[in-house]
Structure 1
Amino acid sequence: MSSAEWEDDDPFEEQRDKIENPMKRLFLAYGRDYLPQVSVGIFASVFARLLDLLPPLMLGIAIDAVFYEDALFSEQIPLVILPDAWLPTGQTEQFWFTIAVIGAAFGIGAGFHWIRNWGFNAFAQNIQHDVRTDTYDKMQRLNMEFFSDKQTGEMMSILSNDVNRLERFLNDGMNSLFRLSVMVVGIGVLLFWINWQLALVALLPVPIIGGFTYLFIKIIQPKYAEVRSSVGKMNSRLENNLGGIQVIKSSNTEPYESDRVDDVSMDYFDANWDAITTRIKFFPALRVLAGIGFVLTFVIGGLWVFQDTPPGPFTGDLSVGMFVVFILYTQRFIWPMAQFGQIINMYQRARASSARIFGLMDEPSRLAEDPDAEDLTVGDGDVVYDDVSFGYDEETIVSDIDFAVEGGETLALVGPTGAGKSTVLKLLLRMYDVDEGSIRIDGQDVRDVTLKSLRRSIGYVGQSSYLFYGTIRENITYGTFEATDEEVREAAEAAEAHEFIKNLPEGYDTMVGERGVKLSGGQRQRVTIARAVLKDPDLLILDEATSDVDTETEMLIQRSLDRLTADRTTFAIAHRLSTIKDADTILVLEGGEIAERGTHDELLDNSGLYAHLWGVQAGEIDELPQEFIDRAQERTARLVEDAESDDD
């Protein structure tokens, strides 16, 4: 796939586009559990902001009553809610009363601000945690087909960046929303209470700001969706490159990969810059509109006080103190109106992120577990594949697979690359579900038992020998967490791993590094075998378990495997045919179908595909029939064609 084509692919676009009202769904699905916290935050926010409005009001009253002596406190309209007996009458007493009220407003307000921040932070952090864990849990339960189509970086972007963006809105955005709402409503009421005529002047820009904000929402929403998509694509490219850094270095392709990273980074730059340019035009325009209201209020109010008569159509009186209150409140009113744009900005970002999150959550899975399913009970360990067929994307992968394995026997699957060997055994693990036919273990259909019990009964050793970041002990006990140190040591001995582990600096507590990079390939493989030994499964799958190690290491690993497979139903996939020649039955797959079956000697006597594959590994190239070589070339060409088709 070309860089441009790869970047145009949004793996969650179809699901994301189906999400309606993602923010409503977020609050209904996750917000209900934390209503007490957000309710406390809202309550405290209201009282904190009401107390914030008190100092400017007291300042205006003090100007008229204390400094200009135009009126007593008891005559000030906003204070009619207080009994006259509580209000001082002397100039000095009124001065100190003003200071006391302002100081109390700041002190008590600080307490409410703390409670407000606690409430909103608790609300946001809890939802962030629940959304992330639920999204991850949903993701890891999807079948393997999902992961073959999706980039790891894209999923990491959703679990990290998008979830964090939700937290920023739920905390900062909602906090600001209620804070500004209280300010706007509270100030609006006070302005109309003090002088309704001048209040109309101050609020003149509000309808224009509202219309301008609505237009901004319509324009910015699709831009933020594109930004979130481009972030996921960029993360996918970076994750791919960092995971393949050894290939990049060995291929001397650093300049090529730098160009590809430059391309995805520029795509993100373009999308983000498009949103930024829209945003930076919007907020200055809001400030201009807000400034118009402030200037008009200052001009008309100033002339009113300066001329001592109302200008134009206005009537009544306006004192110096109340004019000062008006100016202070108007500034506090207009700027919050402009800041609503910032909240809308955060909301649109959160909405784009929540659509991506729920798009992942709503990803359909082909696996459906019966809620009434019972646990698998393994007795003899007999396994039967009854005319099994499977495919995806309208392409058949395996067809009419039919065989039976008795308990304790070993069945090997061999064949050219792409023949369907791994798919056959993934169906046993229910990584996928069969399209036709059935798979039974001791007579129990794997679709009728719980996934947990099925996979607990099957051990898997693959060629990748994946180790998690942590100690050797933690990797051996992965999946069997309650194992004792003695059981871990016995498993390591059975896997021919104990000798090299005890010679490590920290023994079983040695850190293996990211994906086990501090160990050799053979050491990693023996640790994974020890993990399987410790699990003591009823059935065992060996997926080319020795394909990537040297001959000496293979000998040690083969000894481990011989112990592990004794008296245990075993399935083995192998390209190196010498490792499976003693299997009870060998199935030869070609094109997703069983081409041959039998023991090693029987298949050699048949002089078919298996015999030719054996001849290749024995170095008998010149003795191979031309028909086999032609078919090998056709298979290789078909694999290349399929790979290119997948990239397209």
Structure 2
Amino acid sequence: MSGSDIDWEDDDPFEEQREQAESPMRRLIFDYGRPYWFPMIVGLFSSIFARALDLLPALLLAVAIDAVFDEAVFHEQVPLTVLPEAWLPTSDTEQFAFVVIVIAGSFVLGAVFHWLRNWGFNSFSQDVQHDVRTATYDKMQRLDMEFFSNKQTGEMMSVLSNDVNQLERFLNEGMNSATRLIVMVVGITFLLFWLNPQLALVSLAPVPLIAIFTYLFVQKIQPKYAAVRSSVGKVNSRLENNLGGINVIKSSNTEEYESDRVEDVSQNYYDKNWGAIWLRIKFFPGLQVISGIGFVLTFLVGGYWVLMDTAPGPFTGTLETGVFVAFIMYTQQLVWPMAQFGQVINMYQRAEASSERIFGLMDEEGRIEREVDSDALEVRDGSVEYDHVEFGYDDSERIIDDVSFDVDGGETVALVGPTGAGKSTVLKLLLRLYDVDDGSISIDGQDLRDVSLPSLRRSMGYVGQDSFLFYGTVEENITYGTFDADREEIIAAAKAAEAHDFIQNLPDGYDTMVGERGVKLSGGQRQRIAIARAVLKDPDILILDEATSDVDTETEMLIQRSIDDLTENRTTFAIAHRLSTIKDADMILVLEDGQIVERGSHEQLLANGGLYSHLWGVQAGEIDELPQEFIERAQRRQARTEVDLDIDADDD
């Protein structure tokens, strides 16, 4: 599907989560901010005092002008009436020096409060950001596999990175700016009314208009930011997907095609983001113009009042030169916080859009019920029972249909069948990556739904076809999940997996870095390290899903010998397309369309002449001897598989 065919208007992968998030900003501040109240209170009060001190110089300048230059009575000036008269100087020189010292002191003390403010808000925002990110990741990794099958990695990375960073910006810059704005507006309003209530009404006349203008902005910008957050996730998904498949891109010579696809998602982000930017760049200048009206009116009315020494129009009384200067300075100071009000609303809306995605994800409920007080699984013999198990990834189709079988402790059971028969799904249900829809699965008589998940998964070792390795050393990947193992145990596990010899030949042996996803190692080497990891864990039940699919025949023979030792006296489930690797299993289950169509030993199944014998004939090269019915069924299965893949691609 080309990028131009994608409908970008209704494709927010977290829309459902966003809609179910309740009071996300309240939860952010009160639930996650509560442990860090001390730095927040320090930042809040320091911001209040710092901004209050910022207002003092203009007031003292008014005193100096009226008392020193206009020969007004110094101790009768409005800001000085709160001080004892004995503290105030009497001569002009001393009064001037007093004002200079107080102004200088206010700047020094203000700098101290500004430092405390920055420490408080930064500490608070960083701590909350850290807690939110780790809590979101912890919740995300505990969600069902069904959740991950419907989300792309880049989209989830966008929540953990971009969205959490948006919260940090609001908690630091946004709350700091909001506090500063409130203090400045309330403080200046109080001082203006204190100095001259009549002229204050003129200076504050634009405030109602600013409130209406801001309300309209909020209504328009909120849905735009939600669209921007979604588009960021899609950019991340495309980049993550392409970088992860760089080998395929290069080998397929599709660099230009992928560049076009990246350009497409980037253009979508550009369009969504520019829509929000265009609204902002129209809003902020407009807000500044409205705020400036107050300054112009103050200058016009106050200037006339002072120059003409008479009250204009309906006003009464006198206006001192110093008070007029203070009004001009305060009105100019008021213009900036009024314009900043839009910035605060802007940051808040961005943070709210992000918090909806974050807390919507945290509120996500999976199909698997996790009872915190469930009993731990006690594996005695390792017997496993599937009792009329049914399962589907959604309500439209059953993937597993009425599957029943019993496995005695220590037995090896192989699952074979065509692609899409449901083999891997059967074992995912045993790991409880999904819960059954009907029926039950039990280990030693204990229903999997009645035991705790950690105890269940501790008892199992899993080696998959895609042998995922983490970025780190060889040793770190072998010990993953068994972190307390010593070097002797690690080497013994590697030898059992036929991995020790090639590890010794690596540049730094067990300390060699394997690269992202183990890219520095071959597929066979990665599989042997994954097997060594399972050997080291020494599980009660072992699950092998195409565990030797990426190795050559000779290495497979060596690994198979090790696996035989590993599976001895241990309940083992093995999925294999190479039937030669499982022909010695105690029981072979043959699946087709989610049902068990045959079961028995290798010899019994060959003698039956059914699906298993035909699959064996394919691998033995006896294609000409296969019945036409088997070939037609294989063609139908292949066609159905391709349709399913196309649907999955369209969903992506």
TM-score, normalised on structure 2? 0.97
Does the Cα contact within 8 Å between 1:472 and 1:511 map onto a contact in 2?
yes
Does the Cα contact within 8 Å between 1:497 and 1:526 map onto a contact in 2?
yes
> What is the 5 A alignment of 1:130-529?
130-394=131-395, 395-529=397-531
**1:406-460 Cα shifts (integer Å, max 9, x gaps):** 1111000000000000000000000001111111111111111110010000000
Distance 2:552 2:164 in 1: 45
Does the Cα contact within 8 Å between 1:597 and 1:603 map onto a contact in 2?
yes
Distance 2:555 2:243 in 1: 28
Bigger Cα displacement from structure 2, 638-647 vs 430-439: 638-647
Output the amino acid matched with 1:179: R
**1:9-30 Cα shifts (integer Å, max 9, x gaps):** 3221122123343212322321
Does the Cα contact within 8 Å between 2:527 and 2:550 map onto a contact in 1?
no
Mapped pair 1:553 → 2:577: no
Distance 1:611 1:387 in 2: 26
The residue aligned with 2:538 is 536
> What is the 5 A alignment of 1:114-125?
114-125=115-126
User: 1:36, CA displacement in angstroms?
Assistant: 2.3
Does the Cα contact within 8 Å between 1:529 and 1:560 map onto a contact in 2?
no
The residue aligned with 1:623 is 625
Output the amino acid matched with 1:564: L
Distance 1:213 1:148, change over 3 A: same
The residue aligned with 1:21 is 23
Mapped pair 1:64 → 2:66: yes
Distance 2:577 2:517 in 1: 24
1:392 is paired with a residue whose SS is coil
Distance 1:415 1:473 in 2: 35
1:452 is paired with a residue whose SS is helix
Mapped pair 1:584 → 2:596: no
Distance 1:393 1:409 in 2: 32
The residue aligned with 1:593 is 595
Does the Cα contact within 8 Å between 2:56 and 2:103 map onto a contact in 1?
yes
Distance 1:282 1:131 in 2: 32
**1:315-335 Cα shifts (integer Å, max 9, x gaps):** 222222111111111111122
User: 1:563, CA displacement in angstroms?
Assistant: 2.2
User: 1:247, CA displacement in angstroms?
Assistant: 1.3
1:365 is paired with a residue whose SS is coil
The residue aligned with 2:97 is 96
2:461 is paired with a residue whose SS is strand
TM-score, normalised on structure 1? 0.98
The residue aligned with 2:577 is 575
Distance 2:525 2:553 in 1: 14
Could you tell me which runs of 5 or more consecutive residues in structure 2 were left unpaired when the two chains were aligned.
Answer: none
The residue aligned with 1:44 is 46
**1:79-115 Cα shifts (integer Å, max 9, x gaps):** 2111111111111111111111111111111111111
The residue aligned with 1:565 is 567
The residue aligned with 1:30 is 32
Does the Cα contact within 8 Å between 1:586 and 1:599 map onto a contact in 2?
yes
Does the Cα contact within 8 Å between 1:72 and 1:89 map onto a contact in 2?
no
User: 1:291, CA displacement in angstroms?
Assistant: 1.3
Does the Cα contact within 8 Å between 1:209 and 1:338 map onto a contact in 2?
no
Does the Cα contact within 8 Å between 1:165 and 1:353 map onto a contact in 2?
yes
1:412 is paired with a residue whose SS is strand
Distance 1:603 1:152 in 2: 42
Does the Cα contact within 8 Å between 1:521 and 1:548 map onto a contact in 2?
yes
Output the amino acid matched with 2:633: R
Distance 1:57 1:45 in 2: 19
Distance 2:287 2:350 in 1: 20
Distance 2:158 2:346 in 1: 20
Distance 1:166 1:328 in 2: 34
User: 1:69, CA displacement in angstroms?
Assistant: 4.2
Distance 2:80 2:554 in 1: 93
User: 1:556, CA displacement in angstroms?
Assistant: 2.7
Cα RMSD (Å) of the superposition?
Answer: 1.3
The total of aligned residue pairs comes to 647
Distance 1:117 1:229 in 2: 32
Does the Cα contact within 8 Å between 1:385 and 1:403 map onto a contact in 2?
yes
Output the amino acid matched with 1:103: A
User: 1:62, CA displacement in angstroms?
Assistant: 1.0
Bigger Cα displacement from structure 2, 156-165 vs 439-448: 439-448
Does the Cα contact within 8 Å between 2:299 and 2:328 map onto a contact in 1?
yes
User: 1:478, CA displacement in angstroms?
Assistant: 0.5
**1:276-313 Cα shifts (integer Å, max 9, x gaps):** 11110000101111111111111111122222222222
1:57 is paired with a residue whose SS is helix
Does the Cα contact within 8 Å between 2:471 and 2:516 map onto a contact in 1?
yes
Distance 1:73 1:562 in 2: 100
The residue aligned with 1:12 is 14
Distance 1:330 1:346 in 2: 25
**1:51-90 Cα shifts (integer Å, max 9, x gaps):** 1111111112112222x14213201012211111111111
2:598 is paired with a residue whose SS is strand
User: 1:2, CA displacement in angstroms?
Assistant: 5.1
Does the Cα contact within 8 Å between 2:2 and 2:261 map onto a contact in 1?
no
Distance 1:481 1:82 in 2: 69
User: 1:356, CA displacement in angstroms?
Assistant: 1.0
2:6 is paired with a residue whose SS is helix
User: 1:559, CA displacement in angstroms?
Assistant: 2.5
**1:495-517 Cα shifts (integer Å, max 9, x gaps):** 11111112222111111100111
2:356 is paired with a residue whose SS is helix
Report % sequence identity.
72
1:571 is paired with a residue whose SS is strand
User: 1:643, CA displacement in angstroms?
Assistant: 2.3
Could you tell me which runs of 5 or more consecutive residues in structure 1 were left unpaired when the two chains were aligned.
Answer: none
User: 1:172, CA displacement in angstroms?
Assistant: 0.3
1:341 is paired with a residue whose SS is helix
Distance 1:20 1:410 in 2: 49
User: 1:150, CA displacement in angstroms?
Assistant: 0.7
Output the amino acid matched with 1:466: F
**1:144-184 Cα shifts (integer Å, max 9, x gaps):** 11111111110000000000001100110001000110011
Distance 2:561 2:101 in 1: 86
Distance 2:339 2:13 in 1: 37
Distance 1:641 1:243, change over 3 A: same
Distance 1:65 1:336 in 2: 30
Distance 1:293 1:6, change over 3 A: closer
Does the Cα contact within 8 Å between 1:58 and 1:102 map onto a contact in 2?
yes
Distance 1:147 1:117, change over 3 A: same
User: 1:336, CA displacement in angstroms?
Assistant: 0.6
Output the amino acid matched with 1:634: R
Distance 2:22 2:447 in 1: 39
2:439 is paired with a residue whose SS is strand
Distance 1:6 1:449, change over 3 A: farther
Output the amino acid matched with 1:580: I
Output the amino acid matched with 1:286: L
Does the Cα contact within 8 Å between 2:413 and 2:586 map onto a contact in 1?
yes
